[in-house]
Structure 1
Amino acid sequence: MKGKFISFDVGGTKVKHSVMLGDGTILEKDQYDTPVSDLEKFLMEMELIIKEYRSRHSVNGIAISMPGPINPVTGYLDSDTAGNVVCIRRRSIKTLLEEKIDLPVEVENDGNCAALAEQFNGNAQGVKDFVCVTIGTGIGGGIVVDGKVLRGKSFRGGEFGFMITNRSLPDKAIWHRNGATGSLTQNYRQSMRLDTNYRVEGQTIFRQAEQDEQSATMLDDWLTSVSCGLYNLAVTLNPEIILVGGGVSAQTDLLQKIETKLEQLEFWKDFRVPLAVCKHKNDAGMIGAVQHFLLRQGQNL
Structure 2
Amino acid sequence: MKKYIVFDVGGTNVKHGIILEDYTILSKNTYPTQCSNLEFFLADMLHVIEEYTSSQQISGIAISLPGYINPQTGYSEQAGSITALDNQNLKELLEAKVALRVEIENDGNCAALAEKLNGNAVDCTDFICMTIGTGIGGGIFVNNQILHGTSFRGGEFGFMITQGGQGIKSIMHRNASTSSLIHAYKQLIGMEMEETISGEQVFFEAITNPDVQALIDSWLKSLSYGIFNLAVTLNPQKLLIGGGISVRENLINHLMDHLEEIPFWHEFKIPIEICKHKNDAGMIGAFYHFKRTSEVQAVC
**What range is the shorter-chain TM-score in?**
over 0.9
Q: Which amino acid aligns with 1:86?
A: T
In the alignment, what sits opposite 1:201? 198
In the TM superposition, 1:1-301 aligns within 5 A as 3-79=2-78, 82-299=79-296
Partner-residue secondary structure (3-state), 2:196: coil
1-structure distance, mates of 2:136, 2:168: 16
8 Å CA contact 1:18–1:30 kept in 2: the answer is yes
2-structure distance, mates of 1:153, 1:196: 37
1-structure distance, mates of 2:272, 2:116: 15
The total of aligned residue pairs comes to: 298
Q: Which amino acid aligns with 1:255?
A: I
C-alpha deviations, 1:49-77, integer Å up to 9, x for none? Answer: 11111122211100000100100011101
1-structure distance, mates of 2:229, 2:102: 35
2-structure distance, mates of 1:56, 1:145: 41
1-structure distance, mates of 2:96, 2:119: 34
2-structure distance, mates of 1:140, 1:54: 31
2-structure distance, mates of 1:103, 1:30: 21
2-structure distance, mates of 1:37, 1:128: 38
8 Å CA contact 1:227–1:262 kept in 2: the answer is yes
Q: Which amino acid aligns with 1:66?
A: L
Partner-residue secondary structure (3-state), 1:36: coil
C-alpha deviations, 1:209-264, integer Å up to 9, x for none? Answer: 11111101100100000000000010000000100001000101100000000001
1-structure distance, mates of 2:66, 2:168: 22
2-structure distance, mates of 1:45, 1:193: 34
Q: Which amino acid aligns with 2:124?
A: V
C-alpha deviations, 1:175-225, integer Å up to 9, x for none? Answer: 111111110000001111111111121111111111111101100100000
Please identify runs of 4+ aligned residues in structure 1 that moved more than 4 A.
none
8 Å CA contact 1:163–1:174 kept in 2: the answer is yes
Partner-residue secondary structure (3-state), 1:132: strand
2-structure distance, mates of 1:217, 1:138: 21
2-structure distance, mates of 1:31, 1:245: 18
8 Å CA contact 1:7–1:19 kept in 2: the answer is yes
What TM-score, normalized by structure 2, do the two folds share?
0.97
2-structure distance, mates of 1:184, 1:245: 16
Q: Which amino acid aligns with 1:266?
A: P
Partner-residue secondary structure (3-state), 1:140: strand
The offset of 1:95, in angstroms, is: 0.4
The offset of 1:171, in angstroms, is: 2.4
Larger displacement relative to structure 2 (39-48 or 89-98): 39-48
